[in-house]
Amino acid sequence: MSSDTTQPIAPTSEASVPDPLNGMDYSACVGLYPKPGCGTKPVLAGDRGGTMQIAVFGILIAGMAFIGFRIARSVRARDRALDPTD
């Protein structure tokens, strides 16, 4: 007597995982520089191109501008101190 109760699973044609490239050829998207349309839109704030990445870029630019401002200010102060016309 066999007590095998497993049933064969019928194959389905539906994909349970959505295609992130919408039918594009995957080999066209592999490389150093991804081609347009190969990526996915950012969903979370930390995703590539999301709001956190844009915020970090803005903070970086603001920091570089502040450093440039401080350098220019110290150079002007040095030039005023060394100017013999006083």
Does residue 83 form part of some domain? Answer: yes
- Residue of 43, 25, 42 lying closest to 34 (CA atoms): 25
Does residue 65 form part of some domain? Answer: yes
Two tokens at 73? 């200010």
Does residue 69 form part of some domain? Answer: yes
39-70: pLDDT as tens digits: 777 788 888 888 899 999 999 999 999 999 99
Please say whether the beta carbons of 67 and 74 come within 8 A. no
* Residue 8: pLDDT over 80: no
Does residue 59 form part of some domain? Answer: yes
- Report which of residues 80 and 40 the model is more confident about: 80
pLDDT for residue 47: 81
- Report which of residues 77 and 4 the model is more confident about: 77
Q: What is the CA radius of gyration of the chain?
A: 30
- Overall domain count for the chain: 1
d(CA 34, CA 84): 59
15-45: pLDDT as tens digits: 566 666 666 677 777 777 777 777 777 788 8
d(CA 35, CA 17): 23
* Residue 1: pLDDT over 60: no
d(CA 75, CA 49): 37
Determine the structural domain holding residue 53 and report its residue range.
Answer: 43-86
Does residue 32 form part of some domain? Answer: no
